[in-house]
Amino acid sequence: MRCTLATLLLALSAGPALACTTAGTGAKCVTVDEGLRGGGAGHWQRAPIITTPPPLAVGVRLDGRDFNALVGTAYLGLPPARDGWVYVRLDDRIYRVDFRTREVLALVRD
């Protein structure tokens, strides 16, 4: 009984000191209660609004832009490319583009 009581008193008195491992270094120890009262929680941050640029007009040339030429477009429900043009994906849109001149021929899917 005495051993249990002594252990309990020792644990209760040494609790705060043992809870902070940096107490001996001079650093401040912050408990959960103090951290929540500091006002750091509960603030909402605004997410940036991502805007998609307007679609390209017919006749515009794709010079120096990053784009992906699409192959195997049957899974997209598109007819196969022919007559020197290809499908191009740019800004989540699909265009029909002349392969040689990179001129936009049509907006296929917006």
pLDDT for 35 equals 47
Average pLDDT, the chain: 78
**Average pLDDT of the residues in 52-81:** 87
At 87, which amino acid appears? Y
Exposure string of 10-22, with b = 16+ CB inside 10 Å and e = fewer, is eeeeeeeeeeeee
CA-to-CA distance for 92 and 18, rounded, in angstroms? 56
Token pair listed for 4? 């249990």
pLDDT for 12 equals 53
Confidence (pTM)? 0.54
Q: Is the pLDDT of residue 42 over 70?
A: no
CA-to-CA distance for 51 and 91, rounded, in angstroms? 10
pLDDT for 3 equals 57
**Average pLDDT of the residues in 72-93:** 89
CA-to-CA distance for 99 and 76, rounded, in angstroms? 20
